[in-house]
Homo-oligomer: A and B are copies of this chain.
Amino acid sequence: MSRLNETHDPALQSWLASANLAGQDFTIQNLPFAVFRRAGSGEPFRGGVAIGDAIVDLAKLAEAGVLDGAAAAALAAAAQPSLNDFMAQGQAAWSALRLALSRALRAGSPLEGALRECLVAQADAEYTVPARIGDYTDFYTSIHHATNVGRLFRPDNPLLPNYKWVPIGYHGRASTIGVSGQTFRRPLGQTLPPGAERPVFGPSQRLDYELELGIFIGPGNAQGTSIKLDDAEAHVFGLCLLNDWSARDVQAWEYQPLGPFLAKNFATTISPWIVTLEALAPYRTEWTRPADDPQPLPYLESEALRREGAFDIQIEAWLETARMREAGEAAARLSHSSFRHSYWSVSQMVAHHTVNGCGLMPGDLLGSGTESGPTPEEAGSLLELSAGGKRAVALPNGEERRFLEDGDAVILRGYCEKAGAARVGFGEAVGRVLPAAL
């Protein structure tokens, strides 16, 4: 059974010309969801779907009353100030609305006029976190990142024995997750200078980004039940970009034995746009495990996983320093990799998270962990790129970085592209470092 349907047809064109441009993230085959309003308007936030350089205002579309049936019921939920209720409705509702929007946005649609009334330019919009995130869990699914970082924190013992068996994860802070455009002050904290016996207190000197994908949960499961691997994707609404900002010096001093805490919880930046798993269907790929590695325990293993459990999503991190911004220079790409390198799949994260009876709720967010790829230039953090700060990373304008400086903005981007399928992009997740509050 193919997961592809008429909404994936690469030949589809929208009556909105910007959606059909080469390199466009927000094609008619994509149709990602966000929560937005006109910037500075004080209007209520409401759901929106990206198309080209515009947003379909779902609240206005619901008022217009031009959709009916399952799509109309889904639209009513998706139009709200947060997407939780829509996420809770599940795949049939998500698909019904996607299909209706795909048809309405196609060249020649009789609904063009009604839809045009609902468009807001993305340039005029501001966004908010698209769901009330009850709980946020961050995973650690790139074996390359785990090995690179492990080598720096534990040179003798880079990859711990549990890594190849357990999709390692930990709980993060939900209240400090912000949407693209987030700024935050450089965190203060305790660190142990090299060779010192006593910690010092002050601004982090080793501030870093982490290039991740976020995974928004759909219906979820009741506490005391679990989600089986092959049912897991039915509980995933979609994916976004996620920057798990990290204070490496704070992390090194605090993380044993209970894991990262203040090193991570000061800010986490996500993209406004959530790309649905359905939109990503053309970019599914086989999930593999090196033959010499242990194969997963049965609850993390299935034929469907092997066949199509991975997603080939290109992800990138770009740095725009204050000097670049002032000079009007382009940002510099620091990281690029693909989510297909992930050692654990989206479905394995969900199945593992719930196998003990932990209940996931609509709107919960999982982070993939930093998605570093197999080669050094595919590293998803400065910690890795600078070998723990030992090696400066040269920037095109002559600056260099070991870690982030005040004024630095990090821009995450993500997209899927291949012959025979339409491009599907994630837009951006931008965050910027402000000076510490002293």
Query: Which residue numbers of A lie inside 8 Å of B, CB to CB?
Result: 134-135, 137-138, 140, 150, 153-154, 160, 162, 165-166, 168-176, 178, 184-185, 187-190, 192, 198-199, 201, 223-226, 247, 250, 253-262, 265-267, 294, 297-299, 352-353, 355-361, 364, 437
A205 to chain B, nearest CB (A): 14
Q: Are B297 and A199 in contact (CB under 8 A)?
A: yes
Question: Which of B166, B176, B226 touches A358 (beta carbons < 8 Å)?
Answer: B176
Given A166-B254, A355-B188, A437-B225, the answer on whether A175 and B261 have CB atoms closer than 8 Å is no
In angstroms, Cα B225 to Cα A355, docked, is 38
Q: Which residues of B contact A255 (CB under 8 A)?
A: 257-259
Question: Which of B173, B199, B355 touches A171 (beta carbons < 8 Å)?
Answer: B173
A277 to chain B, nearest CB (A): 22
Q: Which residues of B contact A299 (CB under 8 A)?
A: 201
Given A166-B199, A198-B294: 12 more A-B contacts, CB < 8 Å? A134-B174, A170-B258, A174-B174, A175-B358, A187-B356, A190-B297, A201-B297, A201-B298, A223-B267, A258-B260, A259-B259, A266-B358
Q: Are A171 and B261 in contact (CB under 8 A)?
A: yes
Chain A to chain B: the 9 pairs with minimum beta-carbon distance, closest first: A259-B259, A187-B356, A171-B171, A170-B258, A258-B259, A262-B356, A266-B356, A266-B357, A265-B358
20 residue pairs from A and B, CB less than 8 Å apart: A134-B174, A150-B257, A166-B253, A168-B258, A170-B260, A171-B261, A171-B265, A173-B358, A174-B174, A185-B357, A189-B355, A189-B356, A201-B298, A223-B267, A255-B259, A257-B259, A262-B352, A265-B358, A266-B357, A357-B437
A171 to chain B, nearest CB (A): 4
A246 to chain B, nearest CB (A): 11
Q: Which residues of B contact A266 (CB under 8 A)?
A: 223, 356-358
Q: Are A358 and B262 in contact (CB under 8 A)?
A: yes
In angstroms, Cα B437 to Cα A250, docked, is 40
Interface of chain A: mostly helix, strand, loop or mixed: loop
Q: Which residue of B lies closest to A252 (CB)?
A: B162
Q: Which residue of B lies closest to A146 (CB)?
A: B257
Q: Are B190 and A166 in contact (CB under 8 A)?
A: yes
Q: Are B176 and A257 in contact (CB under 8 A)?
A: no
In angstroms, Cα B257 to Cα A224, docked, is 26
Q: Are B187 and A135 in contact (CB under 8 A)?
A: no
In angstroms, Cα B134 to Cα A154, docked, is 34
Q: Are B188 and A357 in contact (CB under 8 A)?
A: yes
Q: Are B358 and A140 in contact (CB under 8 A)?
A: no
Given A185-B224, A199-B297, A297-B190, the answer on whether A173 and B352 have CB atoms closer than 8 Å is no
Q: Are A175 and B364 in contact (CB under 8 A)?
A: yes
Given A150-B257, A201-B299, A259-B170, the answer on whether A176 and B359 have CB atoms closer than 8 Å is yes
Q: Are B261 and A169 in contact (CB under 8 A)?
A: yes
Given A175-B364, A261-B171, A352-B262, the answer on whether A254 and B162 have CB atoms closer than 8 Å is yes
